[in-house]
Amino acid sequence: MKFLLLFVFLLLNSFSTAQMRIYPIVITNGIFSDTLFFGLDVNATNGIDQPLGEFELPPAPPTEIFDVRFIGDGLNPPVAIGQGLKKDFRPSDTVNIVDTIHHRIKYQLGTGTSLTFIWSNIDVRINMNLQDVFGGVLLNQNLSGSGTFVLPANLNGLTQLNFNVVYDFVLPVELTAFVSTTFGNSVRLKWTTQSELNNTGFDVERKKSIESSWIRAGFVEGIGTSTQSNEYEFTDRNLQSGSYNYRLKQTDVNGNYEYHYLSEAIQINLPESFDLTQNYPNPFNPSTMINYNLPYDGKTVLRIFDQSGKEIRTIVNEFQTAGYYSVNFNAGNLSSGIYFYTLTSGDLVITKKMTLIK
């Protein structure tokens, strides 16, 4: 039983997104178990969607074999799905849905003596209801949250059950704009909300367009609850050249979240000129960041000098390709004073001053 609950938990956390909300429910006769998957998908229809893993099952096995499946006559409006499905997803938009979706479950106990339903971590915005085929006269069981339910012995003679799922996915935050601008190797993101309900905030996530994994670039705290328009801003700095995608992960106080995607990829081009920026922070103690741009490939050297012109340290001394670079300079073993840092690449040289205060 613990294994089944863990299995359900992992599946739930693997599949729940804004465009695809898929939930498993484990059904067992005490000897054998099966899993039915239901939910919403922007690409789903009320029929059989093979790209989403919906496939018509073969005819029911002999009566002594345990079997459970969704069948078509539970749909509203009716859509025939032949011998039944293990997965039954319904259409929705990518953001909001407030609706009751009807399924029908057909089963046979096999050699077991009872039918047990197991579910875990169902989203608080989902309410599931299990009914007998007589309109809930004999059975009207809520299956929300997490738990198990054993079909009463006096109903074991049933072979079909109505399974109704109420979805209430109205976004707690309504975005009216999500735009970007680039300057150098930085991206400034701005977005506007029309209203907010229990909004904890926004994780800003990015990924290179050629990669599959998203990383967290930062977090912007939300207003909480507001009926007024609010504007937000986040700047992602010191990016390497390439194409990037961005999205916002908006989370409410209950831990529910939705994704909002920037419509187009952002392109960070190679630098147009050789440049060495002022170190930051400055004055510093004991560490500071030094950024520089290389428009061409070449041997690059970054050195630190004291006021007398004596070289204190060489930070970079290698061949580097064109792009944007950041290095950390730690002056923990140096005394307070004025220092100079010089960047050399080919015939190009830039020198700037920095101040160490301890």
Task: Delimit the domains of the chain by residue range.
Answer: 2-169, 173-268, 275-356
Q: From the CA atom positions of the chain, what is the Rg in Å? A: 30
- Say what the pLDDT of residue 92 is: 80
Query: How many Cβ atoms sit within 10 Å of the Cβ of residue 182?
Result: 15
Residue 14, class by beta-carbon neighbours within 10 Å (0-12 exposed, 13-18 middle, 19+ buried)?
A: exposed
Judge contact between 273 and 318, C-beta under 8 A: no
Asked if the model's pLDDT at residue 9 lies above 70, the reply is no
Asked if the model's pLDDT at residue 13 lies above 60, the reply is no
- Say what the pLDDT of residue 45 is: 87
- d(CA 242, CA 265) in angstroms, rounded, equals 10
Judge contact between 56 and 84, C-beta under 8 A: yes
Residue 103, class by beta-carbon neighbours within 10 Å (0-12 exposed, 13-18 middle, 19+ buried)?
A: buried
- d(CA 239, CA 195) in angstroms, rounded, equals 32
Q: Please write the tens of the pLDDT for every residue from 72-110.
A: 765 555 566 788 999 999 888 655 677 888 899 999 998
Average pLDDT over residues 165-181: 85
Query: How many Cβ atoms sit within 10 Å of the Cβ of residue 202?
Result: 25
Asked if the model's pLDDT at residue 3 lies above 60, the reply is no
Which amino acid appears at position 196 of this protein? Answer: E
As given in the structure block, the two tokens for residue 77 are 């409006």
Asked if the model's pLDDT at residue 12 lies above 80, the reply is no
Asked if the model's pLDDT at residue 7 lies above 60, the reply is no
Dihedral angle computed from the Cα positions of residues 101, 102, 106 and 109, in that order, rounded to the nearest 10 degrees: 70
Q: Please, what is the average pLDDT of the chain?
A: 88
Q: Which residues, 6+ apart, have CB-to-CB distance to 193 below 8 Å? A: 173, 174, 175, 176, 199, 223, 226, 229, 230, 232
Look-up: residue for tokens 């630190």? Answer: 304
Same fold, 173-268 and 275-356: yes
- d(CA 165, CA 103) in angstroms, rounded, equals 8
3-state secondary structure of 73: helix
Looking at the domain that runs over 275-356, which CATH code has it been given? 2.60.40.1930
Q: Please write the tens of the pLDDT for every residue from 34-56.
A: 999 998 888 888 889 999 999 99
Q: Please write the tens of the pLDDT for every residue from 137-170.
A: 899 999 988 999 999 888 878 899 999 999 887 6
Instruction: Choose among 291, 247, 12, 259: nearest CA to 124.
Output: 12
Which amino acid appears at position 321 of this protein? Answer: T
Judge contact between 337 and 266, C-beta under 8 A: no
As given in the structure block, the two tokens for residue 75 are 């749909």
- Say what the pLDDT of residue 75 is: 54
- Say what the pLDDT of residue 98 is: 74
Q: Tell me which fold the domain 173-268 belongs to.
A: Immunoglobulin-like (2.60.40)
Asked if the model's pLDDT at residue 10 lies above 50, the reply is no
